Chain A
């Protein structure tokens, strides 16, 4: 795979600097070192604490790129229950793998190295489990994107530019430079599922009516940085999802505890 080399090098440099251990597994995972960051929103069970509180993240492994059609195809071949003609109705909406349009219901050869999309949370979770992995938590995903504060301005611009342009043909994974952790394509290609994608905004409740919602002006009350429009978009996108939803711009990557 063409991205193995740069992943390895950048991750190695980082890992020697930060935690001094080999950081790339055979499955193209990168060890993201532990640290802390300020989440944009707190989880709802923490909603009474200050929004600016830093959250600690333990070191974890993360796929260097989103899961590709090629890899998802291999998973489906091995686990036919997740073939588009077999998948149980409660696990997906009607667009599951809608872009796999040939008679066999398999991936188009031209798309093999592009990120897989049109997968529900259940399918993504099943894929990760089959590799002995799991989906990353939203905090882990956002921490990886925050990249210890490196190149923040440029990242925000990149995100807004992507959101501003209607759908384009998806590129192959790893086509653009990795971030400081050696992770590719976190933004600017697709949205990604996280394990706890919709657990951030509490619904209105009797103690605190209305102001923990993600609509209209009240959405900004709880945010750590109301000027970060790109973050609002990520959180509101996740908030709009349910586990059986799929999307033309929605894929995933897997994570694993570092032990």
Chain B
């Protein structure tokens, strides 16, 4: 409290100083000197570290634009944005700075907008002062009293819809002492999206008020779209680098159990606090309308997957990103797979064989195969390729109307029995994942493939157990 008073006094003195040019004693570091225009960046980029040792007047120009953009492959959405992209521009200032904020609402927009910066102390966090009609701009100013990583968002009614359409971003108020130098800083923000069409339904999807109120999003994504941080868009670092992630959750509704698969956060600054990091954290909880930043050294090369560890969001709704670390392997820290042996617990082998023989009816006709294959598909394949055969954009290729299945059936048999790995182009989209090999017997492989070939607009081929035997890669584990 005392501190805040001191700052307020500093600000007041400063104002008089400006008008009367009367020098006055001020708290160290809170004196405003110099003026600059804030560098704003689109995710995943972060503006450069602040190196000045004094407070300054900082001018922020942020333009609100309503734009149509990609939400997932073949799916577009009308985003409402701070600066043209979701999330909004990253703003970086220093504790004690005086910010002159210009909120510009593009004349093509249909909606009024404003901004509530959680870094602002004052009614509405700026929202009350910044309600702006299309074609107009509002100016307000504030003093950055508290250091930390803060969310900003639009707060015009209906607030939930403005936020659901992508109106959020992060503002970092660096502490007076500054922040340590790291090799990479990245900006990641999670949001949930409510489209009228189901996940994967193609075309321009309007906002669904009903799903938003029910809190049932079709998409949960990082940086405004499924795949915005995967493949070529993956974040990149080199072995031995220190990485700092600024992670926010725009919501409007879901929180994030943020996790990087295969990494341990050396430090997590919970809720964006700059004072006391927690150490050695696996998963950190980030509230809707909240943020955290975390630092870790990448010791082992490879691809690290960022997820919301509420996993169906990652698997089925898009909350998945990648950090690719290049460099030489270090077997002392991580060996990689050393051996792969068949594991046969004592006494179970026989029972399994008997059981599978008893359960598995043999198909007599193609129609039988399709019917039996469906069950096998739903048990083994649907988790990734989906019951609709549509797959998951950026992660799992589609089996529906799939050009991968248009020629001979041999590659499909090889894929199921031997697995697949690495780059693969299906229906014009590139995938780079892993499919394990399946220990299904010839009859089962024949049935599931026949089901796939006779579903979702594929060619209608029949695959027989003899075909499978001919092209099989790995032997069946339980048949010998």
Cβ–Cβ contact A237 & B209, under 8 A = no
Q: Complex Cα distance A160/B207, Å?
A: 7
Given A215-B157, A216-B124, A239-B112, A247 and B133 contact (CB-CB distance below 8 Å): yes
Known: A163-B110, A220-B157. A213 touches B128 (CB 8 A): yes
Smallest Cβ-Cβ distance to B116: which chain A residue:
A216
User: Which of the four size classes fits the interface of chain B?
Assistant: 20 to 34
Scan B78-94; emit 1 where CB is below 8 A from any A CB, else 0: 10000000000000000
Which positions 128-149 of chain A face chain B at CB distance < 8 Å? none
Closest to A161 in B: B206
User: Pick the contact of B110 from A217, A227, A249 — CB < 8 Å?
Assistant: A249
Asked whether A215 and B158 contact (CB < 8 A) given A160-B207, A161-B206, A164-B207, the answer is no
A248 to B108, CA, bound (A): 7
Which residues on A sit within 8 Å (CB–CB) of B161? 229, 232-233
Q: Knowing A229-B209, A248-B135, say if A166 contacts B66 (CB, 8 Å).
A: yes
Of B66, B111, B133, B159, which one neighbours A245 at CB under 8 angstroms? B133
Are the CB atoms of A236 and B68 closer together than 8 Å?
no
Counting residue pairs across A and B whose Cβ atoms lie within 8 Å, the total is 105
A227, B78: Cβ atoms closer than 8 Å:
no
A214 touches B157 (CB 8 A): yes
The answer to whether the Cβ of A17 comes within 8 Å of any Cβ in the partner chain is: no
> Quick check: B112 and A236 within 8 Å, CB to CB?
yes
Quick check: A247 and B107 within 8 Å, CB to CB?
yes
Q: Is the CB of A166 within 8 A of B108?
A: yes
Q: How large is the interface on A (under 10, 10 to 19, 20 to 34, 35 or more residues)?
A: 35 or more
Q: Is the CB of B78 within 8 A of A164?
A: yes
**Closest chain A residue to B153 by CB distance?**
A216
Asked whether A34 is an interface residue with its Cβ less than 8 Å from the other chain, the reply is: no
Q: Are B204 and A165 in contact (CB under 8 A)?
A: yes
In Å, the complex CA distance between A200 and B34 comes to 42
Smallest CB–CB gap between A145 and chain B, Å? 17
* A247 interface neighbour in B135, B155, B213, Cβ under 8 Å: B135
- B132 located at the interface, meaning its Cβ lies under 8 Å from any Cβ of chain A in the complex: yes
> Is B123 in contact with chain A by the CB < 8 A criterion?
yes
Roughly how many angstroms separate A47 CA and B13 CA in the complex, as a whole number?
40
**Closest A residue to B131 using CB positions:** A240
**Is there contact, CB below 8 Å, between A204 and B110?**
no
Q: Please pick, from A162, A191, A227, the residue contacting B209 in the complex, using a CB distance under 8 A.
A: A227
Cα distance A95–B107 when bound, in Å? 10
Contact A167 B110 (CB under 8 A): yes
A91 to B359, CA, bound (A): 83
Does residue B67 face the partner (Cβ distance < 8 Å to A)?
yes
Q: How far is the CA of A162 from the CA of B111 in the complex (A)?
A: 11
Beta-carbon contact of A215 and B156 below 8 Å: yes
Query: Are B78 and A214 interface neighbours, CB within 8 A?
Result: no
A227 / chain B contacts, CB cutoff of 8 Å: 209, 213
Could you name 26 residue pairs across A and B whose Cβ atoms are closer than 8 Å? A93-B135, A95-B107, A95-B135, A164-B206, A166-B68, A166-B110, A213-B128, A214-B156, A215-B116, A215-B128, A216-B124, A216-B159, A217-B159, A227-B209, A232-B158, A233-B161, A236-B111, A236-B131, A236-B157, A237-B133, A239-B131, A240-B112, A240-B136, A242-B133, A248-B135, A249-B134
Q: Assuming A204-B123, A213-B124, what are 17 further A-B pairs, CB within 8 angstroms?
A: A95-B107, A95-B135, A156-B209, A160-B206, A164-B207, A165-B206, A167-B108, A214-B157, A215-B131, A215-B155, A216-B116, A229-B161, A232-B157, A233-B111, A236-B112, A239-B112, A247-B135
Which 8 pairs, one residue from A and one from B, show the smallest C-beta to C-beta distance? Answer: A240-B112, A219-B157, A232-B158, A232-B157, A215-B127, A240-B133, A229-B158, A216-B155
Q: Which residues of A contact B (CB under 8 A)?
A: 93, 95, 156, 160-167, 191, 204, 210, 213-217, 219-220, 227, 229, 232-233, 235-237, 239-242, 245-249
